[in-house]
Amino acid sequence: MERDVIIACDFKSKEELYEFLKPFKGMNPYLKIGMEMYFKEGPELVRELKKQGFKIFLDLKAHDIPNTVKAAMEKLGSLGVDITNVHAEGGIEMMKAAREGLNMTETGKKTKLIAVTVLTSINDDVLHNELLIDSNKTSADVVRKYALNAKEAGLDGVVCSALEASIIKEIGFMSVTPGIRLAGDSKDDQKRVATPAYAKELGSSYIVVGRSITKATDPVAAYKQCVKEFC
Ligand code: C5P
C-alpha cells in the first residue's frame, strides 16, 4: 500500500506558506491545505500549488445534504487535488453524492475521497453525553462502523487517529492519520498521539504532520526524519 508523509500547512497566509516551503525546493512534499488557508486564500492558492507540482490534500470536511455536497464536490473536482474529504456523519447517501460530484469532471475522477470518522478532539464522554451515541459503543466501534459505511459508499479511505489505523487495515481500507509527533516533541492540544514509526507499525497509509515539522528549528530535517521512520 502507498505510504507518504503529508505536511499540515496551518499558516496564516500564503506568504507564510511560501516562506516555509523555500528550503523544501526540489523535494515537493505532499501538503495539506485546511480551512484556515483556504478561506483566506481561496482556490487560487490550490491551483498555484498544483502548478508547482505539489500533491495536495484539501481538508475542508464537507457535511451537508447530499444534493449540496454533490454540487460542491463538482466545483472542487475542477481543482484536481489529490485527496479531499467529507464527514462520515453525513451518511452513506451523502458520501455517494460527494463521489458522484467529483466524478463529474475528468480531474475530479482522479481525486481520492476520504471520510472523517471521529475527530481526535472527541472523547468517549462527548460521544456518549453530548452526541448521545449509545453508551455501550466506544469510539473504536464508531470508527469501524463509519469506515464500513465509507467503503460501502465507494470512498477510498478514512481520516482517523493512528491508534485506530489497525482497525482500518483489518477491513482493507486506507487510513490518513493526524496526531503525529516526533519523539520528544510537545503534544500541544492533541490528546492521542503516535510517532511516525509507531503509526507505520499500526498500519497507517498516510500520516499528517503539522507542528512537529512546521514549528521545528529545522523543518526539512524534521520532515526527513518523518519520512525515514514512516516510508
Ligand atoms: O500540528 P498538528 O500535527 O497537530 O496538526 C494536525 C493537523 O491535522 C491539523 O491541520 C488538524 O486540523 C488536522 N486534523 C487533526 N485531527 C483530525 C482531523 C484533522 O488533527 N481528526
Tell me the average pLDDT across 114-123: 90
pLDDT at 95: 98
Give pTM, 2 decimals.
0.95
Superfamily of domain 4-230: Aldolase class I (3.20.20.70)
Domain boundaries along the sequence of the chain:
4-230
Residue (of 1, 21, 23) closest to 11 by Cα position: 21
91 contacts 101 by C-beta, under 8 angstroms: no
Cα 224 to ligand 1 centre (Å)? 19
Catalytic residues: 61
Tens of pLDDT along 55-111?
999 999 999 999 999 999 999 999 999 999 999 999 999 999 999 999 999 999 999
CA 197 and chain centroid, separation: 18
Ligand 1 atom with least separation from CA of 32? 10
How do residues 157-205 score in pLDDT, each as one tens digit? 999 999 999 999 999 999 999 999 999 998 888 777 899 999 999 999 9
Q: What phi and psi values does residue 59 have, to the nearest 5 degrees?
A: -100, 80
Residue 24, C-alpha cell as written in the block: 523544501
